[in-house]
Structure 1
Amino acid sequence: MDTSTLLAMENPKELLNAQAHIWNHIFAYHSSIALKCAIELGIPDTIQKHGNPMTLQDLANSLAITPTKTRSLYRLLRLLVHSNFFSMTKLVDGEEAYANNINSQLLLKDHPCTMSPFTLGMLDPTLTEPPHYLSKWFRNQDESVFYMVHGRSFWEHADLTPGFNQLFNQALASDAGIVSTALVDSKNFMKMVEALGSLLMGYKGMRVT
């Protein structure tokens, strides 16, 4: 029985759902690349500096976008809005405008909990290129995909590549910063610390017979 016959026997709805499922996984990386692009272009900071929602043309002008690529900027923004990194509203004259939300605020360079360094670090080609060779790695003796692509371990590469080393350290610092800030400011976390302290004091006072 050939493939076309087998497909014809399947439920059409299930086939379309399966196709959509595969499409979603194939193109999922577009969201990551769009996010990286937004940070590199400075979209969150530009909107923040403007103080109000910005129209497509205002953004294009402020970001010095090549005029012929304004339409592509529109597509980028639509994807980022769909991914909930920006909010889209309509001005009095009906024109669409884009604003930051809580997610894009964490991408601001001067935000105390900025995750821009972490985003750029994790999406650097140094880290995103190796996964493309995962299937090849399964059939050789290399210790890791990273080693296979770069010819050295991750830590050796970081030690010998100052630019990447700095990028990676900044990425880890920004990620740790937001976690520590959230925990320290959390009333529940402080209650847990106090409870743990009481437990330890009680344990210290116990006498083993």
Structure 2
Amino acid sequence: MLVNEEFEGQNRGEATMDSGKSDTICVDHRKDEELEGFIDLWKLMFGFMYSLGLRWAVELGIPDIIAKGGPESMLSAEEIAGFLPSPSPNIDFLSRTLSFLATRGIFSQTLQPNSPIKYGLTPISKWLINDTDNGGAKAGTFAPFLLLHTHEAVISPWYRLGESILSGSGFPFELVHGKLLFSLAESNPELGRLFNEAMGTYSKILVKDILAAYGDEFRKLEFRSLVDVGGGNGSIISVISRSFPNIKCCNFDLPEVISEAPSCAGVQHIAGDMFVSVPNADAIFMKGILHDWGDEECKKILKNCHQALSKQGKLIMVEMVLAEAGQSKSSWSEEIGGIRDMIMLSHQRGKERREEEWRKLLQSSGFNHYNIISLPSEPLQMSIIEAFPAHVED
């Protein structure tokens, strides 16, 4: 804070008054902005502590330990340590780390007189609870997604982003690993398992919004065929099949993915390569496939879909449609769009796209008509894009 020259030498914030005269303090708001900028910079510099701290908490099962006591459970670090897979955990380290994460709202903390600090769950950490009693991640958990995106192999490409920008010699993930994330997951069983689990658990969250927004259209497909291209372990198509048992459902993915996919009543698993061909169907469903690829790869996939569709068929895609610059519904939705686009830049050869970019891709691949249906309650701002071959009138 700066004061005008008449107040030099006086204590900050003090003013004098004499008969008939008053003076005011002149505040330089630039100093406040500089301080705020420094604090924001400090938070950004050390932001990795939160993401890796979250990873540590999930690996040790901290959200699950607290959740076992019920929705309002509050446990001390010592009580939490009693559930950890170690005979002598460091209680001080545990407490200090939990208190640090609580500063960001990841856990809550309370302190009563003559009692240790107790920690509870918050809306953030509740997304990380696993239903281990049922043999795996529950519908609604984001824990596998967090573990995937904080994996050392997934974080390391960020160190090569500058090289990618300056040289244009390749995507960061390729510079580090010599291959893209999909290919690395195929050759690394541990990463591959985590990748499939992460995609599957996110699909379980997403499918509820898809059915709520598009259920009537799926109902029109009864006694017709629907293929989920790049459907992974079949998590979405299996839910569609259970909801609409008269649809002839097929899950289509690479052989190594299909070999690990669980059997599901009403769903046929077919192995193949979407860059070569796609099974014939009345409708083709793709969730989060095209954002993984560049425009030329997308055109190849779309043309294969066009060729596989029946005369009155349609393509149903679930993708993000970026708002035009400055036209996002909220600041956080614009931020999420930027994060997702940077994930594609770092891990794959893809990108998130605006509506005009989607229109050009679809029209160049034989889909002249399309509709966009937003999923307003979906946390990651996805939309349904239904597209119709040129010979089908919308």
Find out whether 1:47 has 2:36 as its counterpart: no
In structure 2, the partner of 1:145 is 172
Q: How many residues align?
A: 185
Cα distance change of structure 1 residues 153 and 124 upon mapping to structure 2, 3 Å threshold? same
In structure 2, the partner of 1:82 is 103
Cα separation, 2, equivalents of 1:127 and 1:48: 29
Q: Return the structure number with greater helix share.
A: 1
Find out whether 1:57 has 2:78 as its counterpart: yes
Cα distance change of structure 1 residues 142 and 166 upon mapping to structure 2, 3 Å threshold? farther
In structure 2, the partner of 1:34 is 53
Judge conservation of contact 1:106–1:113 (CA < 8 Å) in 2. Answer: yes
Q: Please say which structure displays the higher CA radius of gyration.
A: 2
Cα distance change of structure 1 residues 193 and 27 upon mapping to structure 2, 3 Å threshold? same
Judge which range, 16-25 or 97-106, deviates more: 97-106
2:167 aligned counterpart, secondary structure: coil
Cα separation, 2, equivalents of 1:14 and 1:123: 32
2:169 aligned counterpart, secondary structure: coil
Displacement of 1:95 in angstroms is 3.4
For 1:125, give the aligned amino acid: E
Question: How high is the TM-score relative to the length of structure 2?
Answer: 0.42
For residues 76-116 of structure 1, the C-alpha deviation after alignment (integer angstroms, 9 at most, x for no partner) is 21132222222223468543211223432321221432211
1:99 aligned counterpart, secondary structure: strand
Displacement of 1:144 in angstroms is 0.6
2:128 aligned counterpart, secondary structure: coil
Q: How does 1:169-188 map to 2 (within 5 A)?
A: 169-184=196-211
In structure 2, the partner of 1:16 is 35
Calculate the aligned-residue CA RMSD, in Å: 2.9
Cα distance change of structure 1 residues 193 and 62 upon mapping to structure 2, 3 Å threshold? closer
Cα distance change of structure 1 residues 99 and 183 upon mapping to structure 2, 3 Å threshold? farther
For 1:130, give the aligned amino acid: P
In structure 2, the partner of 1:117 is 144
Judge conservation of contact 2:106–2:125 (CA < 8 Å) in 1. Answer: yes
In structure 2, the partner of 1:104 is 125
For residues 119-178 of structure 1, the C-alpha deviation after alignment (integer angstroms, 9 at most, x for no partner) is 101111111010012112223343210010111222222222222111111111111111
For residues 23-67 of structure 1, the C-alpha deviation after alignment (integer angstroms, 9 at most, x for no partner) is 121111211111111001111111123443211221223323745
Cα separation, 1, equivalents of 2:33 and 2:48: 24
1:106 aligned counterpart, secondary structure: helix
Question: How high is the TM-score relative to the length of structure 1?
Answer: 0.75
2:194 aligned counterpart, secondary structure: helix
Cα distance change of structure 1 residues 65 and 35 upon mapping to structure 2, 3 Å threshold? farther
1:87 aligned counterpart, secondary structure: strand
2:185 aligned counterpart, secondary structure: helix
Cα separation, 1, equivalents of 2:180 and 2:165: 17
Q: How does 1:160-175 map to 2 (within 5 A)?
A: 160-175=187-202
Cα separation, 1, equivalents of 2:217 and 2:187: 45
For 2:161, give the aligned amino acid: L
Cα separation, 1, equivalents of 2:48 and 2:218: 42
For 2:40, give the aligned amino acid: H
Name structure 1 gaps, 5 residues minimum. 1-8, 199-207
Identity percentage of aligned residues:
25
